[in-house]
Amino acid sequence: MRTVDFNRQYCDQIKENKELHAKSALEEISYINGSTAKYHGRCVSTLYVPKIFTETDIDQFQRLIRTLYGIFDKVIERYREDASYRRLFGFSHRLEELILREPRYPSKIPIARIDIFYNEETKDFGFCEFNTDGSSAMNEDRELNHALRLTYGYQMLAKQYPVRTFELFDSWVEKSLSIYRETDGAKETPYVAIVDFMESATNNEFDIFAESYRKHGVECEVCEIRNLRFVDGKLYGNDNRPIDLIYRRAVTSDIMEHYDEVADFIAAVKAEAVCLIGDFTTQIVHNKILYAILHHPTTQEFLTDAEREYVKAHVPYTALMTADYLPYAQMQEEKDRWIIKPLDSYGSKGVFAGVEYDSVQEWRRILDTHRIDGYLAQEFQVPYQTDNIDFSKGAATEFIRVSNLTGLFVYDGEFQGIYSRVSRGKIISTQYSEIALPSIVVGEGDSGAGRL
C-alpha cells in the first residue's frame, strides 16, 4: 500500500472505536509527560496518528540525500578553493578562518537533519532547511515511539504489518568514532566531550548520547562550552581529563556571537589539539544564504545538468532582502507566496510567513521592517496535509487536517532516520504551535512482531 493508504486505514480504524483509542491515547500522553522528551522543562506535544512511511518512501529519501550531498561536496570544495566564491557567503573573517583550516577527516558534513516538504502521494519534495549545525530531536523521536507502543492504534497496526523505527543514538556514536579514527594520531579509545551553550542545550538528549558512548567503551562528558580550558596544548572539560574528540552541538552562530567567551575552545580548535565533529565547514551548508547561492550562475556552472534540474525542482527561489533584484512589489501584493527568514538562526526564530497574516498592511510593515542585512525572502511552499486527531480532551474530539514537515537525519552522508512535525496551520515551527509525531516504517505482509 501507499503511505496515504496506511494513513487512511489508521484513521478508519479509529472511527470504529474512538472510546478505546481515546483511552489508550491518555496512556500515551501520560508516558510523554513523564519522559525525557523535554526542552527547558517543557514536554513535547503529539497527536494520536503517527507518521507512517513505506519502504518506497525510504528509498526516495536515500536517493534525494545522495544527490543533495553530491551538490554539497562541490559547493564546499569551491568555497575552499575560490576566494571570489567565498565572498558570496558574506562570512566574517573570523568564521572564514575557522572554515578554511585543513580538514582532519574526509567527511564534510558528519551529521545533519535535512527538513523537507514531502508530498506523500506524488513523492515530490521541496527543501525547507539544511540543519547541519547542532542537529537535534533524536530523543524526541525515541520517546514518542516508546509512547506510541502503548496505543491501541499502533497495536492493531503491528498485528497486521511489520513495523520498524529508526535507531539514532548508537548509530551516531559508531559513525562519529569511525570518522575520528580516520584522523592522524587517533586513539583506540578517545575521551569524548559533548559541548554546547547549556542555556540552549537539550540536556536529556546529551545524557543519552553520553551513555551510548560509554556503552561503546568510550568515556564521555557533557560540558558547557564556555568552561573548556586549553592548557599546555590540551583541552580540558569538567572532569579535568584531556579531550580527544568533541561532538559539537553548539551552533556556529552562537559560537561567533560569544567568540571571546569561548576563547579556549577556539584556541584548541585552531591548534588542532582536539578532533571536532562537526567542524566549521558545516556552516557553508547550514547558513540559509546557500539557498540563493545554489541558484547563482557561478554554482550553476559547476553542477551537472541533472544537478541543475534538481536545484530548480527542489530548492525554492531565494534572495536577500537587500538584493536589487528582489521582487519586492510582488512580495507586497502576493503575501501568501512568500516567507522571510534570518540567514543564520535555529528554532524558527524570527521567521515570518505571509499566509499567517490577514492584513496586507501588516505584512507590508513586516517586510519594510526586515528589509535589512541578515534576512532573506523565499518562495513559500504549501505543506502536504494529512488527517490526525487530538485525544487529549477526550473521545468526543473530531479529526483535523495538519500540515507536515519531514526531517531526514543524515549520518556521514547516509540517510539514518526521520523526525516528523506537524501544525494545525500552514507553518510548522516552534513559534507556530509545532507538534511532533513518532515516525514509523510499515512493510507489506502480515506480522505480529513489529520491531520498535
- Give the tens place of pLDDT for each residue, 302-341: 999 999 999 999 999 999 999 888 999 999 999 999 999 9
Q: Which residues contact 244 (CB under 8 A, 6 or more apart)?
A: 180, 186, 187, 190, 191, 192, 274, 275
What CA–CA distance (Å, rounded) separates 156 from 163? 11
Q: Measure the CA–CA gap between 417 and 408, rounded to whole angstroms.
A: 6
Whole-angstrom Cα distance, residue 342 to residue 311? 21
One-letter amino acid at 248 equals: R
Residue type present at position 360: V
Place of cell 528582489: 326
- CA angle, residues 338, 339, 343, in degrees to nearest 5: 135
Asked whether the beta carbons of 402 and 423 are under 8 A apart, the reply is yes
pLDDT in tens, 400-449: 999 999 999 999 999 999 999 999 887 776 555 789 999 999 997 654 43
Q: Percent helix, strand and coil across the chain, each rounded to 5?
A: 40, 20, 35
Q: Say how far apart CA 84 and CA 9 lie, in whole Å.
A: 55
Centroid of chain to Cα 370: 25
For residue range 432-441, what is the model confidence (pLDDT) as tens digits? 578 999 999 9
User: C-alpha cell of 435?
Assistant: 507538534
- Grid cell in block for residue 85: 566564491
H or E stretch covering 229: strand 229-231
The one-letter amino acid code at 122 reads: T
pLDDT band at 450 (very low <50, low <70, confident <90, very high): very low
Q: What is the amino acid identity at position 307?
A: E
**Paired strand residues for 111:** 411
pLDDT tens digit sequence for 92-127: 999 999 999 999 999 999 999 999 999 999 999 999
How many other C-beta atoms are found inside a 10 Å radius of the C-beta of residue 41? 5
Average pLDDT across the chain, whole number = 94
- Return the residue matching grid coordinates 596544548: 233
Element (H or E) spanning 352, and its range? Answer: strand 352-353
Assess contact for 168 and 205: CB atoms under 8 A. no
Question: How many CA atoms lie less than 13 Å away from 284 in the CB half-sphere?
Answer: 26
User: What value does the mean pLDDT take over residues 244-262?
Assistant: 97
User: Does residue 221 register a pLDDT over 80?
Assistant: yes
In the chain, how many H helices and how many E strands?
Answer: 17, 21
In 3D space, the residue among 153, 130, 108, 66 whose CA is nearest the CA of residue 288 turns out to be 130
Backbone angles phi and psi of 230, in degrees to 5: -105, 110
CB within 8 Å of 266: residues ≥ 6 apart: 98, 255, 259
Count of C-beta atoms within a 10 Å radius of residue 81: 9
Question: CA-to-CA distance for 446 and 235, rounded, in angstroms?
Answer: 54
Mark 292-325 as b/e (b = at least 16 C-beta within 10 Å): bbbbeeebeeebeeebbebbeebbeebbbbeeee
CATH class of 317-380: alpha beta
Please tell me the predicted confidence (pLDDT) of residue 425: 82
Report pLDDT digits (tens) over 190-205: 999 999 999 988 889 9
- C-alpha cell belonging to residue 127: 527543501
Q: For residue 449, report the phi and psi dihedrals to the nearest 5 degrees.
A: -135, 65
The predicted structure's pLDDT at residue 451: 33
Q: State mean pLDDT over 11-27.
A: 97
pLDDT for the residue 130 = 95
Kind plus residue range of the DSSP H or E element containing 421: strand 414-423
Is the confidence at residue 348, as pLDDT, over 70? no
- Where are the domains positioned within the chain? 3-287+384-442, 317-380
Smallest Cα–Cα separation from 408: which of 38, 62, 50, 46?
Answer: 62
